[in-house]
Amino acid sequence: MMRPSGTTRLAGVIGDPVRHSLSPALHNAGFAHLGLDWTYVALEVPAGGGAAAVAAMRALGIDGLSVTMPLKAEVADACDELSPAAAMLGAVNCVRRSGDRLIGENTDGVGFVNSLRSQAGVEPVGKHAVVLGAGGAARAVVVALVSEGTSVTIVNRSIEPAMRAAELGKTAALAAGVGSSMSVMVGAPGAVRDADLVVNATPLGMHGSDPLPVEPELLHGGQLVVDLIYTPAVTPILEIADEAGAQTLNGTGMLLFQAAEQFKMWTGRDAPTRAMGAAVGLDIAG
Ligand code: NDP
C-alpha cells in the first residue's frame, strides 16, 4: 500500500456525523487500484462550518471534497460556481477545483441512475417511478429520473415538500428538453401498484421499530424496488419486495456510483467501480 508522502494529493468527506462514512473505503480502494498518489479522509465538520471548510479547502490546496449532512446547502452557498444539478437542487455533495475556482457539484442523481443501469440492467426512459419521500435524496432522484425520461409520482407524508419536489421535477424536465410530455406529480400511496420502479427515499427501515414506507400488497413481480438506505443492507421493504417477486437494490450502489463520478472529476480517471464496490461488499461487473 502506498503511504502518504510530501507529494500525496488529498481529498475527503466533510459532514457530521461522518466517522461511519463508507466514502474513505470507496475512494482509497480506487486510488490504490489505479496506483494514484492520493489519499481520502473523513473530516468532522458540524452544521455552520461549511463555508470555513470550503475556505480551508482553498487555503490548504485540498483537491476534492465530498459533502454530506448537514452541510450540502451551506457549501452550495460557499462555492464560486455551481453545476446545473447542484444549482437546481440547492445542494452540493462534491467540490472540485477548476484552476483557482471551487465548483460545487451534485452527483447523487447520476449515481442513482448509474446504479439502476449497472446493477439492475434497468434503463429509466419510459418507465413510471414512485418516489417515497421528498427530502434531499428524493429531490436528487426525482430530478435525475425525470431528466432521463421517466415519469414520476412523488408520495410523501407532508404535502408541501412533495409539491416543491414536483415543481423541481418539472423544471428539470424543461431543462433536459423532455418538456411537457413528461409527467411529474404528487400522488397517493396506491400509485405504487402501477409503478415499474419504487424508490424508498425516506429513512423508514433504518431502525427495526420503523413502520414500512409502503403497504406490502402494493408490491409485485415486474417491479424494481430500490431502498436508498444501505444500513441495514436488507430493509423490511426490500425483504417484502423480494418475497413478492420484485427485483431489489439497496442504497450501496447509489453511494458507489455517486462516488465514482466524484473520483473522475477529481482525478480525471475513470473510477475503477469494481474495485471500489468490492471495498463496500458490492460485486460490480466490469
Ligand atoms: P431528508 O431528511 O432530507 O428527507 C426525509 C424524507 O423522508 C422527507 O420527505 C420526510 O417527510 C420523510 N420521512 C422522514 N421520516 C418519516 C416518517 N417517519 N414517516 C414518513 N416519512 C418520513 O433525508 P434525505 O433525503 O437526506 O435521506 C433520506 C434517506 O436516503 C435516508 O435514509 C438516507 O440515509 C438515504 N440516502 C442515501 C444515499 C445513498 O447514497 N444511498 C444518499 C442520500 C440519502 P417530510 O417531508 O414529511 O418530513
Residue-wise pLDDT for 12-70, tens only, equals 999 999 999 999 999 999 999 999 999 999 999 999 999 999 999 999 999 999 999 99
Q: Which single residue is written with the C-alpha cell 466490469?
A: 286
pLDDT band at 180 (very low <50, low <70, confident <90, very high): low
Residue to mutate, 115, 131, 202, 229, ligand 1, most ligand atoms under 8 Å from C-beta: 202
Instruction: Kindly state whether residues 122 and 225 are assigned to the same domain.
Output: yes
Asked whether residue 1 is domain-assigned, the answer is no
Share of the chain above pLDDT 90, in %: 94
Instruction: Kindly state whether residues 235 and 113 are assigned to the same domain.
Output: yes
User: Residue 219 sits in a domain of what CATH number?
Assistant: 3.40.50.720
Q: Which of 72, 127, 170, 264 is catalytic?
A: 72
Closest C-alpha residue for ligand 1 atom 23: 135
Domain hosting 220: range is 109-250
Instruction: Kindly state whether residues 70 and 83 are assigned to the same domain.
Output: yes
Q: For residue 201, report the distance from its CA to the centre of ligand 1, in Å.
A: 5
Closest C-alpha residue for ligand 1 atom 1: 135
3-class secondary structure, 65: strand
pLDDT band at 181 (very low <50, low <70, confident <90, very high): low
- 161 conformational bin, left if phi > 0, alpha if psi -120 to 50, beta if neither: alpha
Dihedrals phi, psi of 143, to nearest 5 degrees: -60, -45
Closest C-alpha residue for ligand 1 atom 45: 158
Active site residue 72: yes
Beta partners for residue 39, in sequence order: 10
Check pLDDT > 90 for residue 121: yes
Give tens-digit pLDDT for 47-57.
Answer: 999 999 999 99
pLDDT at 286: 65
Asked whether residue 225 is domain-assigned, the answer is yes
Instruction: Kindly state whether residues 113 and 15 are assigned to the same domain.
Output: no
∠ CA 80-50-64, nearest 5°, is: 60
Give tens-digit pLDDT for 197-240.
Answer: 999 999 999 999 999 999 999 999 999 999 999 999 999 999 99
Q: Looking at ligand 1, which atom is closest to the CA of residue 68?
A: 43
User: What's the rounded Cα separation, in Å, for the pair 253 and 282?
Assistant: 8
Instruction: Kindly state whether residues 224 and 242 are assigned to the same domain.
Output: yes
Ligand 1, CB cutoff 6 Å, lining residues:
108, 133-138, 156-158, 161, 201-204, 206, 228-230, 251, 254-255, 258
3-class secondary structure, 95: strand
